[in-house]
Chains A and B, each alone.
Chain A
Amino acid sequence: MVEAAGWIARLQRDDLNETDGLEFDAWLAAFPDNRPAYRQTLDLWQAFGASAGEVLAQMETPARTPGRRVANGGTGAPTRRWLVGAGGFAVAAGLAAVVLPPMVRKAPEQILSSGRGQRRRFQLADGTNVDLNAESRLSVSFSRSERRVSLEDGEAIFDVVSDKARPFTVAAGEHTVRVVGTQFDVRNRDGDLTVTVARGRVEVRPSSASDRVFVLTPGQRLDIGAGGVGTLQAVNPQEAFSWRSGRLVYRGQPLARVVADLNRQFVDQVVIGDPELGAIPITGVIVLDTPQAVMSRLSLMLPVRTVTSERGLLLLRK
């Protein structure tokens, strides 16, 4: 089944060629189970293709898909504060937080998450504050000797309460961020890690196998790409933290990245119609009010126009 899913995904390549076909042919013939496994996966894939419009419409129906849509209204600033205690945390109706049952003799793990358009603040049991950016997921596991959190996907600002006896570590993919008492932002999206430090000292270990450690001091930002190459630079940390107050600050990032960030903040999605547009560098402050307002302000500065389509707000070349 794993391989069948891999083949379905591979056969979607835009530049599909005969090598893909021949290897598919060979795989299908390799084991008798491969053909029925592929057929079963294919059936599901085609069912999604045949009903794509209906499935999309269904996903847009708020009542039917709880947890996906934002309970407190789209772009809502983090007005509410959730107190996370040792034995669990307050669960309000529609809240996308889950408490996993504690494992025997293992530190209990809590999952904190935010949906699209949601920015949320949590206080952990040690008093550490965590702001989660939209579409983020953090698991928290505190024990007597250490405080461990894992940012599986997303971005968060940590304001860590100092406790020398219990170091605070953030696992982000294969990278580890280790701190004592400090304030910093971690962004772990699509295999790229960015850490920005406002206060204190942060150590970043690119992978568990590596013995190289980056030490960051206030005003420094470290970017580690998928290839594992780190770049350290001086920045204004408040820019990296600005999402917490409903602003996004960019200095030369491509429009595709800006749109990907916006699409995490708003239910209404923006789609880049012309691939070349995605590469345009963006510098400036974006105030997160509505996607329409953001795009109309952007279109004053960029050679783009927006068209409302069934896929969302479509960005086209002017």
Chain B
Amino acid sequence: MSPGANAGKRDVTSSEPPETRPQDSPLVAAFLEKRQTLLLFLAARTRSMARAEDLVQDLFVKIRQMDPAAEVRAPGPLLYRMAANLLVDQARSAQRTERRDDQWRRDTRPTLGGEDIVEGPGADEAIIGRERVRQLAEAVAGLPPQMGRAFRLHKLEGLSQAQTAQAMGVSRKMIEQHIQAAVRRLTQSLRS
């Protein structure tokens, strides 16, 4: 996915808001029905709900570009395949994604339609206070060594699961287990 191609797609959406289409194809209908869950699925790989909204929009653009006459037997699997591909593509072009044009997002988000669950404009620019940062850092420092290292490399330094596994000389499965345990512990230690 090149930046140029993406920009082209965006122009199409902003000039053609989705809700003006008279009939929805089964895939579009499935998307609208699953939109909230797709958002939560995509949000697991974004820094904010606003960025997840971006990706939902990207997904919608891709769906609209598909031939409406094409018969889709199983819209659910197709939606999730497209969503998963979007995340994998995004990871490949992570740097470009980071430099997204926020202005574009603010302009186009209202055209998404449906209920607005966005946490307000610029939610991802929200400043996380110094005290909160200190708490987060302390919580990570309090993790057992291997778990803390996996969390640090993967979540804080942005290495993929495979890269983290490489760096630590363990399996990807082990990294996933470390991350799961770390998230559980962090949730507990930061709640109190």
Across-interface contacts of B160 in A (CB, < 8 A): 14
A120-160 interface code vs B (CB 8 A; 1 in, 0 out): 00000000000000011100000000000000111000000
B40 pairs with A153, CB closer than 8 A: no
Residues in A244-261 with C-beta less than 8 Å from chain B: 254, 256-257, 259-260
Residues in A56-77 with C-beta less than 8 Å from chain B: 56, 58-59, 64-65, 67-68
Q: Is B158 an interface residue (CB 8 A)?
A: yes
**What is the distance, in angstroms, from A256's C-beta to the closest C-beta of chain B?**
4
Determine the residue in chain B with the shortest Cβ distance to A271. Answer: B167
Given contacts A39-B40, A47-B128, contact A58 B137 (CB under 8 A): yes
B137 pairs with A28, CB closer than 8 A: no
B184 pairs with A1, CB closer than 8 A: yes
Provide the main secondary structure of the chain A interface: helix
A31-55 interface code vs B (CB 8 A; 1 in, 0 out): 0000100111110111111111011
**What is the distance, in angstroms, from B167's C-beta to the closest C-beta of chain A?**
6
Q: Give the size category of B's interface with A.
A: 35 or more
Q: Which of A3-11, A205-213, A234-242 contacts B (4 or more CB under 8 A)?
A: A3-11
A190 pairs with B169, CB closer than 8 A: yes
**What is the distance, in angstroms, from A248's C-beta to the closest C-beta of chain B?**
13
Determine the residue in chain B with the shortest Cβ distance to A277. Answer: B166
Q: Is B162 an interface residue (CB 8 A)?
A: yes
Provide the main secondary structure of the chain B interface: helix
A254-285 interface code vs B (CB 8 A; 1 in, 0 out): 10110110011000000110010010000000
Most chain A CB within 10 A, of B141, B167, B187, B190, is at: B167
A12-24 interface code vs B (CB 8 A; 1 in, 0 out): 1111111011101
Given contacts A41-B187, A256-B167, contact A68 B45 (CB under 8 A): no
- Which of A8, A14, A47 meets B180, CB within 8 Å? A8
Across-interface contacts of A9 in B (CB, < 8 A): 176-177, 179-180, 183
- A8–B155 alpha-carbon span in the complex (Å): 11
**What is the distance, in angstroms, from B173's C-beta to the closest C-beta of chain A?**
9
A256 pairs with B184, CB closer than 8 A: no
B137-177 interface code vs A (CB 8 A; 1 in, 0 out): 11011001110010011111111111100111111101011
Number of A interface residues, CB 8 Å? 71
**What is the distance, in angstroms, from A309's C-beta to the closest C-beta of chain B?**
10
Across-interface contacts of B161 in A (CB, < 8 A): 12-14
A6 pairs with B140, CB closer than 8 A: no
- A5–B141 alpha-carbon span in the complex (Å): 19
A49 pairs with B47, CB closer than 8 A: yes
Q: Is B91 an interface residue (CB 8 A)?
A: yes
Residues in B83-135 with C-beta less than 8 Å from chain A: 83-84, 87-88, 91, 124, 126, 128, 132-134
**What is the distance, in angstroms, from A9's C-beta to the closest C-beta of chain B?**
4
- A14–B173 alpha-carbon span in the complex (Å): 11
B176 pairs with A20, CB closer than 8 A: no
A-B CB pair tally, cutoff 8 Å:
199
- Which of B88, B180, B190 meets A6, CB within 8 Å? B180
Q: Is B81 an interface residue (CB 8 A)?
A: yes
- A264–B149 alpha-carbon span in the complex (Å): 10
**What is the distance, in angstroms, from A198's C-beta to the closest C-beta of chain B?**
25
Q: Is A80 an interface residue (CB 8 A)?
A: no
A12 pairs with B154, CB closer than 8 A: yes
**What is the distance, in angstroms, from A24's C-beta to the closest C-beta of chain B?**
6
- A185–B63 alpha-carbon span in the complex (Å): 59
- Which of B83, B163, B167, B171 meets A21, CB within 8 Å? B83
Q: Is A221 an interface residue (CB 8 A)?
A: no
A46 pairs with B47, CB closer than 8 A: yes
B156 pairs with A52, CB closer than 8 A: yes
- A58–B126 alpha-carbon span in the complex (Å): 18
Can you name 27 A-B residue pairings with CB atoms under 8 Å? A5-B187, A7-B44, A8-B183, A14-B88, A16-B88, A17-B80, A18-B84, A28-B37, A42-B43, A44-B190, A48-B136, A51-B128, A51-B133, A51-B136, A55-B140, A58-B136, A59-B140, A59-B141, A64-B138, A65-B137, A115-B145, A136-B145, A152-B144, A153-B145, A154-B145, A190-B171, A271-B159
Q: Given A12-B176, A116-B145, output 4 extra A-B contacts at Cβ < 8 Å.
A: A25-B41, A46-B48, A152-B144, A256-B167
Interface residues of B (CB under 8 A from A): 34, 37, 40-41, 43-49, 76-81, 83-84, 87-88, 91, 124, 126, 128, 132-134, 136-138, 140-141, 144-146, 149, 152-163, 166-172, 174, 176-177, 179-181, 183-184, 186-188, 190
5 cross-chain pairs, A with B, having the tightest CB-CB distances, nearest first: A21-B80, A58-B137, A11-B44, A9-B180, A135-B145
